């Protein structure tokens, strides 16, 4: 059996292994040789026990298809692998298939490895214009675009993004693309500055209550307390988009939701084509988000770096094209 390197999580421990079995694609799957992977806050939640996941970590990646109609091309991949036969799949909600596996999150080995497999229909070709370091952002950027499919945004919609982290940076730019006036509230001056550089207005979170209430608030804090703050700064009949997945249970003053008739919208994975196109057209910046690139063998240190408060995006160079630790900024 062919072996490969992989970063696994089981029994509460992250392990780098060089003797992990290389996955064998089934008839509708494609083997992908991973070149870059990204560490997402969901990975950090998984390592904290969310989803009770065991297996190879990681779901943000770019790689090269080793088979199928995209053989030899660079690809990114949608992470939900659905059955294609249940009512939800047939009803157009394949991402919510109850029989689904999810790359590196639920019942399917992930991207922090030399190889992964995904159904061929999950793969999207990466345009030549995009570097690997950019393409690895397609998955989280698609999640940011999902908001535009769930909430109507226009130049008259005042939007607040709570959280100046990786997701907040992407969400704010996507909202701005819809011509909606957008403000990001955060607590890291250097991150707020990154946002100002891409033309997004910012406010220190402590100053937030001085502003008029917002029509739409996106909780991208990654913190259980984000939703409570969101409910305080959204206008009556406004919308709170919940992007934060936390393992913990969250306490909520639900009476505020009722009295102010707030709409809460949970939002998860989104459309890859929109994300790829926006990156290709250079309408979204992602490179300034990158903090460090680690080699796969140093994934545990990389995850620790990603978990530090205020960390930006930490990438894994799976193809060994970069030295053990390359500090980008």
Among 80, 178, 139, 150, which Cα is nearest to 279's?
Answer: 139
End-to-end CA distance of the chain: 40
Q: Is 309 helix (H, G, I), strand (E, B) or coil?
A: coil
Distance in angstroms (rounded) separating the CA atoms of residues 92 and 131: 32
Q: Exactly one of 21, 251, 323, 324 binds a second copy (CB under 8 A); which one?
A: 251
Question: How many chain residues touch a second copy (CB under 8 A)?
Answer: 36
* The only residue of 44, 86, 203, 257 in contact with a second copy, by rule CB under 8 A: 257
- Gap between the Cα atoms of 269 and 280, Å rounded: 20
155 near a second copy, rule: CB under 8 A: no
Nearest approach in angstroms of CB 307 to a second copy is: 18
The answer to the question of residue 261 lying near a second copy (CB under 8 A) is yes
Query: Residue 283 and residue 280: Cα distance in Å, rounded?
Result: 8
Nearest approach, Cβ of 308 to a second copy (angstroms)?
Answer: 23
Least distance in angstroms from the C-beta of 105 to a second copy: 10
50 binding a second copy? (CB under 8 A): yes
**Both tokens assigned to 155:** 């130049």
| Residue 312 tokens, joined | 């930006």
What the block records as the tokens of 199 is 């033309």
- Report the DSSP pairing between strands 55-56 and 325-327: unpaired
Q: 246 to each of 44, 167, 243, 272, how far by Cα in Å?
A: 10, 14, 10, 24
Interaction of residue 247 with a second copy, rule CB under 8 A? yes
Q: Could you give the string, one character per residue 281-320, with x where binding to a second copy holds by CB under 8 A and - elsewhere? A: ----------------------------------------
Decide: is 199 part of the binding site for a second copy (CB under 8 A).
Answer: no
Give the number of other CB atoms < 10 A from CB of residue 106: 17
Contact with a second copy (CB under 8 A): which of 268, 305, 319, 322? Answer: 268
Mask for 215-234, x = binds a second copy (CB under 8 A): ---------x--x-------
Q: Which is nearer to a second copy, 49 or 199 (CB)?
A: 49
Stretch that binds a second copy, among 17-25, 66-74, 88-96, 121-129 (CB under 8 A): 88-96
What's the half-sphere exposure (Cβ side, CA atoms, 13 Å) at 143? 29
Binding site for a second copy (CB under 8 A): 50, 88, 93, 96, 150, 224, 227, 235-237, 242-247, 249-268
């Amino acid at each position: 059996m062919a072996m490969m390197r992989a970063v696994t999580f089981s029994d509460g421990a992250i392990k780098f292994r060089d003797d992990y079995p290389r996955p064998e694609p089934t008839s509708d799957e494609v083997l992908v040789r991973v070149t870059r992977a990204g560490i997402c806050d969901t990975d950090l939640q998984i390592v904290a026990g969310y989803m009770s996941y065991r297996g190879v970590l990681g779901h943000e990646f770019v790689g090269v298809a080793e088979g199928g109609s995209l053989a030899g091309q660079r690809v990114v991949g949608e992470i939900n692998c659905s059955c294609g036969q249940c009512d939800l799949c047939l009803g157009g909600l394949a991402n919510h298939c109850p029989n689904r596996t999810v790359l590196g999150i639920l019942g399917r080995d992930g991207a922090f490895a030399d190889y992964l497999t995904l159904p061929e229909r999950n793969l999207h070709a990466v345009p030549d214009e995009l570097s690997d370091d950019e393409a690895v952002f397609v998955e989280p950027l698609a999640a940011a675009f999902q908001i535009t499919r769930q909430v109507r945004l226009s130049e008259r919609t005042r939007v607040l993004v709570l959280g100046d982290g990786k997701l907040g940076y992407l969400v704010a730019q996507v909202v701005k693309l819809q011509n909606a006036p957008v403000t990001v509230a955060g607590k890291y001056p250097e991150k707020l500055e990154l946002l100002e550089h891409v033309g997004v207005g910012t406010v220190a979170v402590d100053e937030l209550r001085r502003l008029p209430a917002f029509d739409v608030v996106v909780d991208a804090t990654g913190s259980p307390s984000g939703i409570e703050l969101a409910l305080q700064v959204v206008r009556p009949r406004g919308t709170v988009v919940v992007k934060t997945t936390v393992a913990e249970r969250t306490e909520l003053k639900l009476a505020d939701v009722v009295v102010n008739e707030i709409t809460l919208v949970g939002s998860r994975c989104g459309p890859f084509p929109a994300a790829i196109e926006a990156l290709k057209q250079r309408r979204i910046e992602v490179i300034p988000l990158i903090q460090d690139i680690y080699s796969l063998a140093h994934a545990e240190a990389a995850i620790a770096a990603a978990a530090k408060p205020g960390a930006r995006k930490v990438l894994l160079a799976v193809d060994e094209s970069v030295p053990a630790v390359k500090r980008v900024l």
